[in-house]
Chains A and B, each alone.
Chain A
Amino acid sequence: AFFWLVSLLLSSLIWFIAVKTSDPRDEPLQKGLLIFGVMFSVLLQEAFRFLYYKLLRKAIEGLVALSEDGCSPISIQQMAYVAGVGFGLMSGAFSMINLLADALGPGTVGIHGDSQLYFLTSAFMTMVLIFLHTFWGILFFHGCEHRRWWEITAVVVMHLAVSGSTFCNPLYVGSLVPSYMLMAAAAVWAYLLSGGSAQNLRRFLLCK
């Protein structure tokens, strides 16, 4: 969570500087800057995920060295999951919490002609992002562990795609549907990578 926060800080810094040095009345430029800011932020987030992976790697080595039986008390997969959840929660919290605070107060959604489903779609979008961050965490760490660079690039591309799809808002079908499909794909992939299989799933569902 902390690492996500730092990445957010740095990316907003860049965006802020860019905005301040540009003309505030130029609409397309502002929009362009915003898009640039978003993409840059996505890249920074993934970079920080990588840094976090490096840090955890070192921590695991330290733990292994100190432990009695040569294996660390927490595995890298667990760490990947936790890292993903941390990123996701922080990202979700930052996206949603102001909305929630405003939702408590009096007001009408979309009174100025905006979409009336604003709160609902924001909630769904946040949820899908949190899930995605969790799965990306697992995929990313797995890719780093086994040196499969295509996995890492897949995660980055997916992230960019999801963020990019939100540019279609308020045409929600353009952003929510692809995001959910990507999430399903990422979920299956992460599940398979973590050692799951159709058989395990069946056994779990049938409570064997």
Chain B
Amino acid sequence: MITIMNNSDSEEEPCNERTSLMSAESPPVPSYQDGLQASEAGKFQAHRKRRTRSSHSPNNVADEDVSAAGFPVRESTLDDEEEELTLKYGAKHVIMLFVPVTLCMIVVVATIKSVHFYTEKNGQLIYTPFSEDTPSVGQRLLNSVLNTIIMISVIIVMTLFLVVLYKYRCYKFIHGWLILSSLMLLFLFTYIYLGEVLKTYNVAMDYPTLFLIIWNFGAVGMICIHWKGPLKLQQAYLIMISALMALVFIKYLPEWSAWVILGAVSIYDLMAVLCPKGPLRLLVETAQERNEPIFPALIYSSAMMWTVGMVKPDAAARGPSQQIQDADEDGRENHWSPSHADSHVSEMRGPVPTCPITSFEELKEEERGVKLGLGDFIFYSVLVGKAAATASGDWNTTLACFVAILIGLCLTLLLLAVFKKALPALPISITFGLVFYFSTDNIVRPFMDTLASHQLYI
């Protein structure tokens, strides 16, 4: 979402995308902002920032404020057209989001199925201290619920912390936080991932080569995400870090806790975005009041928002806001407690290119993309990855969850087009996904297995 906002700490440029968008011929199709899930408030030092937002209206409103003076009349006449355009390009936007979500899920599923490291149980995060190795079902359920409560409260604390920081304009702190998080994600997690993949395929690699690869990957990633870079590359990096984060979650969250957490997080998302006093909503409103880009969170944008005259193609430098926790390297094997950066916050630091002489008429429809928070990517991938990992080795379950999530996303985007305001992206998709996972695993699987063994077709 992020309607192409300036860097929050940069000076407000008189003519930023928003103004140009507003003045454009066609009414700006608001960027979709999914529910802000900012679990930025990191835990301890490392904060899990989760921001999934696709806001639709805030940008619109903000834009209107800015350009209201200039084109008051145009606004009203554009309303009808807006409806049509919204629907016409709605389908396009849906496809634009389907592809990255699908890619992320494919990466996660492929890794889970081939690299066994991510399905081994090697300890738990400190955020989920209760173990699930208890003999009785009731105890296990209780533990998972307690884990969930702890996790959600951490997320809430982080979000509130972030909102407070934002309110008091501690931009430097936030940016530093984000940069540290993305550093950790890009370098450390990639190193681990690469190591495990090489181990699985029994490929030898010497340290200098490894260093070169990781260094290049990480450095280019940092630049792309936080500064400028080709749009496709940025999108690719965001997908990769989402996948990495999802893999970490899949590995370190115990079974039942993971499912309960998924459910709880989608409820939290719903409340945080829609309740009047919800932290995410406060964030959005504060940003609107200040006419600033909504707090840079990790957000995936699917199109450039610049007009033809612009230099920078990337619509938003999504900065992965990941807070890094003190990485306890030694504890890696046993206990990942300290270090986990949750890069959810999408920091949309749009390199707002000197938005200059924006030839408004040149602003093309296609340039208005859709934005989805990276936290959404991560949780979708966690759901599908968990389905792939734990569903008795069954691909049907994975496929069913995948379709369910995509349909949920479709519905959410439809609602977005109807309501035109920030909406949470998680609840519908996660609900569908969970329902389909449990039902397919327990009910459909025996049926299909029996059919296949008799080679019957329905």
Asked if chains A and B come from one complex, the reply is yes
- List chain A positions with a Cβ less than 8 A from chain B: 1-2, 5, 8-9, 11-13, 15-16, 19, 34, 37-38, 41-42, 45, 63, 66-68, 73, 90-91, 93-95, 97-99, 101, 118, 121-122, 125-126, 129, 162-163, 166-167, 169-170
Residue of A nearest to B448 (CB): A94
- Residues of B contacting A68 with CB < 8 Å? 84
Identify which of A2, A126, A129 contacts B407 (C-beta below 8 A). Answer: A2
Query: Measured between C-beta atoms, what is the minimum distance from B251 to chain A in Å?
Result: 22
Q: Tell me the complex Cα distance, A125–B458, Å.
A: 11
Q: Tell me the complex Cα distance, A169–B453, Å.
A: 11
Number of interface residues of B (CB under 8 A): 29
Known: A12-B444, A15-B447, A93-B399. A163 touches B456 (CB 8 A): yes
Q: Are the CB atoms of A129 and B457 closer together than 8 Å?
A: yes
Greatest chain A CB density within 10 A among B396, B403, B457 is at: B457
Q: Is B400 an interface residue (CB 8 A)?
A: yes
Q: Tell me the complex Cα distance, A42–B458, Å.
A: 6
28 residue pairs A–B, Cβ–Cβ below 8 Å: A2-B404, A5-B436, A9-B436, A9-B443, A11-B458, A12-B446, A12-B448, A13-B443, A15-B447, A16-B446, A34-B450, A34-B451, A34-B454, A34-B456, A42-B458, A63-B87, A66-B84, A97-B399, A98-B395, A98-B452, A101-B393, A101-B395, A121-B455, A122-B455, A163-B456, A163-B457, A166-B456, A169-B456
- Residues of A contacting B450 with CB < 8 Å? 34
Q: Is B285 an interface residue (CB 8 A)?
A: no
- Residues of B contacting A121 with CB < 8 Å? 455
Known: A12-B443, A13-B443, A45-B458. A95 touches B83 (CB 8 A): no
Q: Are the CB atoms of A16 and B447 closer together than 8 Å?
A: yes
Residue of B nearest to A35 (CB): B456
- List chain B positions with a Cβ less than 8 A from chain A: 83-84, 87-88, 393-396, 399-400, 403-404, 407, 436, 439-440, 443-444, 446-448, 450-452, 454-458
Q: Tell me the complex Cα distance, A150–B266, Å.
A: 47
Q: Tell me the complex Cα distance, A101–B114, Å.
A: 12
Known: A5-B403, A94-B448. A16 touches B443 (CB 8 A): yes
Query: Measured between C-beta atoms, what is the minimum distance from B112 to chain A in Å?
Result: 13
Given known contacts A94-B396, A163-B458, what 4 new A-B pairs fall within 8 Å (CB)?
A9-B439, A41-B458, A63-B87, A126-B457
Residue of A nearest to B86 (CB): A66
- Residues of B contacting A167 with CB < 8 Å? 456
Residue of A nearest to B435 (CB): A9
- Residues of A contacting B455 with CB < 8 Å? 118, 121-122, 125, 166, 169-170
Q: Tell me the complex Cα distance, A129–B456, Å.
A: 12
Q: Tell me the complex Cα distance, A63–B450, Å.
A: 43
Q: Tell me the complex Cα distance, A162–B83, Å.
A: 45
Known: A66-B83, A90-B403, A94-B399. A73 touches B88 (CB 8 A): yes
Known: A38-B451, A66-B83, A97-B395. A166 touches B403 (CB 8 A): no
- Residues of B contacting A66 with CB < 8 Å? 83-84, 87
Q: Tell me the complex Cα distance, A129–B457, Å.
A: 8
Query: Measured between C-beta atoms, what is the minimum distance from B133 to chain A in Å?
Result: 30
Q: Are the CB atoms of B396 and A98 closer together than 8 Å?
A: yes
- Residues of B contacting A163 with CB < 8 Å? 456-458
Query: Measured between C-beta atoms, what is the minimum distance from A75 to chain B in Å?
Result: 15
Residue of A nearest to B458 (CB): A41
Query: Measured between C-beta atoms, what is the minimum distance from B395 to chain A in Å?
Result: 4
- Residues of B contacting A2 with CB < 8 Å? 403-404, 407
Query: Measured between C-beta atoms, what is the minimum distance from B295 to chain A in Å?
Result: 35
Residue of A nearest to B447 (CB): A12
Residue of B nearest to A73 (CB): B88
Q: Tell me the complex Cα distance, A166–B458, Å.
A: 9
6 tightest Cβ-Cβ pairs between the two chains A and B: A12-B447, A169-B455, A12-B444, A97-B395, A41-B458, A166-B457
Q: Tell me the complex Cα distance, A35–B404, Å.
A: 28
Q: Tell me the complex Cα distance, A66–B87, Å.
A: 9
Q: Tell me the complex Cα distance, A156–B407, Å.
A: 27
Known: A9-B439, A93-B399, A97-B399. A38 touches B444 (CB 8 A): no
Q: Tell me the complex Cα distance, A91–B399, Å.
A: 11
Q: Tell me the complex Cα distance, A167–B451, Å.
A: 10
Identify which of A38, A67, A93, A126 contacts B456 (C-beta below 8 A). Answer: A38
- Residues of B contacting A129 with CB < 8 Å? 457
Q: Tell me the complex Cα distance, A95–B446, Å.
A: 13
Query: Measured between C-beta atoms, what is the minimum distance from B437 to chain A in Å?
Result: 11
Query: Measured between C-beta atoms, what is the minimum distance from A22 to chain B in Å?
Result: 13
Q: Are the CB atoms of A169 and B454 closer together than 8 Å?
A: yes
- Residues of A contacting B448 with CB < 8 Å? 12, 94, 98
Residue of A nearest to B113 (CB): A101
Q: Tell me the complex Cα distance, A41–B458, Å.
A: 7
- Residues of A contacting B458 with CB < 8 Å? 8, 11, 38, 41-42, 45, 91, 163
- Residues of A contacting B404 with CB < 8 Å? 2, 5
Query: Measured between C-beta atoms, what is the minimum distance from A60 to chain B in Å?
Result: 12
Query: Measured between C-beta atoms, what is the minimum distance from B293 to chain A in Å?
Result: 31
Residue of A nearest to B444 (CB): A12
Q: Are the CB atoms of A125 and B439 closer together than 8 Å?
A: no
